[in-house]
Chains A and B, each alone.
Chain A
Amino acid sequence: MREVDDEKNLRKRKTVSIALKAAVWFCGILTVGILVYILSFILIRGIPKINMEFLFGEYNSETLSAFSSVVATVEMIVISLLIAVPVGVFCAIYLSEYAKRGNKAVKVIRLAVDTLAGIPSIVYGLFGMIVFVYAFGFKASILSGICTISIMILPVIISSSEEAIKAVPDMYREGSLALGATRLRTVFKVVLPSAMPGILSGIILAIGRIVGESAALIFTSGTNVLKDPTLNLLASQRTLAIHMYMLANEGLPHSRDMAFATGSILILIVFLVNFAATKIAGMFGRLNNE
């Protein structure tokens, strides 16, 4: 009697397990499938339209060149990271290494960080327009865009750095302090290098956010497009994402196609950044595990 029960049970368990396996596979394939579909949809339409004129030419209604937008995007990535990474990492160091537990300031900072992370980007855009464009008098410019976007990526960098710093085992800190090192030296020579891969992954997320941002930048750096790339941060110049948005709405015969071409460049940039960041994280990983 028992054996019969066992056998029934076993069969039932096998059926459930097969069904679950199928469900897992289905979801996996679905996700990858959607990604492949989106990527090929954009790349197939976009890549054939990319030509030298579009990549490096002067912008006019013929070429619809993305050159000045690419340069503006790069400027925005580099400078806003230069602003937000030090501020964010130092804030994370304060939160995780210096602040005492139950400290009121920590609660306030955490609340602020979480709130900043949840604000829709268009609200940042409005804020940036009122503060940087008008009150600070930066006008609609790359600089206004940089200031706005630096604030936007701050929460990402703070929370990922804080997680990474907290994950560094206490025994490293103890080892350093027990040799007579100060807290500061311990943080910079032992804790931060160990936390670097985690901090880098936060920076990658931040770059993704900068590259993809449109709403906040339309209000601050504007939709203007220059004939040639500029290094003047006070100029108003659109980024790639906005270039794409504008082209898609332009109504010129070939502007739709060129929007896809811009999208392809965006995707390639994101790939490149992720690739480079994995390489860099890998370098730190090797240093840590060799």
Chain B
Amino acid sequence: MSDKDKIKIENINLYYGDFHALKNINMKIKTNEITAFIGPSGCGKSSLLKSLNRMNDLIEGVKITGRVLLDNIDVYKEMDPTVLRKRVGMVFQKPNPFPMSIYDNVAYGPRTHGIKSKAKLDEIVEQSLNSAAMWNEVKDRLKKNALGLSGGQQQRLCIARAFSVNPEVILLDEPTSALDPISTMKIEDLLTEIKKNYTIIIVTHNMQQATRISDKTGFFLQGEVVEFDKTEKLFSMPKNKKTEDYITGRFG
């Protein structure tokens, strides 16, 4: 496992209009680790996640100051968002497969980036679905509409879709909050399985999930990072009183 900083977040401040949603965030995200962001609703964890692949740009009235560095390149100043988003993939809270076939869902990304050859696309689709541990489930119905899949399958398809453009980082925004425990388990297993090839950041409401899968955990409160440490450390001997109150269920 390399010990490189994949993403460096430096003095990020984010405003929705007058609302100061993120306050001076500094973090370093290591390659091939799973980093979890936890905290109560509205604490800014999703906002920070979305600033990493500039999905916040799409919201009107957002202002961001500070720097996000991906392999030491400033993603706000020196990188086109389409290039950034190819390198930093995202999986959303609600499964959002496109209303098209399973195959076309996975092939959408590579097609976007100019791959036309049928053989190459077939290969990518198979690989991506394999990495998402669902090739065997769906290989006989690739031409069927993706919306016919169960919620858990849809979410894994979205993960496969994220793999399809060969990203380096995968951001997951509460990917299992809409799923049943078995689907959740499958996705957690999948994430621990794939972290050797990717850098993963996951926002979760579920503290058990963070302890189960993540290497590092950041605890957010009212737009600030209260504590950011190794997961075992943060949950067993939190340094901050607020972290302790939150993880022991005293609020949130």
Chain A residues engaging chain B, CB cutoff 8 angstroms: 100-101, 169, 171-172, 174-182, 185, 189-190, 193-194, 287-290
Contact = CB atoms under 8 A, between A and B. Distances in A.
Interface string B42-73: 00000000000101001010000000000000
Contacts of A101: 60
Interface centre among A169, A177, A287 (most CB of B within 10 A): A177
Interface of B: 53, 55, 58, 60, 81-86, 89-90, 92, 94, 96-100, 108-109, 112-113, 144-145, 147-148, 158, 161-162, 164-165
Contacts of B164: 179
A182 B82 contact: yes
A178 B98 contact: no
A179 B98 contact: no
A290 B112 contact: no
B153 to A, nearest CB: 15
B92 A171 contact: yes
Contacts of B89: 178-179
Interface of A is mostly: helix
Contact of B100 (A178, A181, A287): A287
B144 to A, nearest CB: 6
A290 B100 CA distance: 9
Contacts of A189: 108
Nearest to A185: B112
Contacts of A181: 82, 108-109, 112
Contacts of A172: 96, 98-99
Contacts of A289: 99, 145, 147-148
A241 to B, nearest CB: 38
A180 B53 CA distance: 10
Contacts of B161: 175, 179
Given A169-B96, A175-B97, A287-B99, 12 more contacts: A100-B60, A172-B96, A174-B96, A176-B98, A178-B90, A179-B108, A179-B164, A180-B84, A193-B99, A288-B99, A289-B99, A289-B147
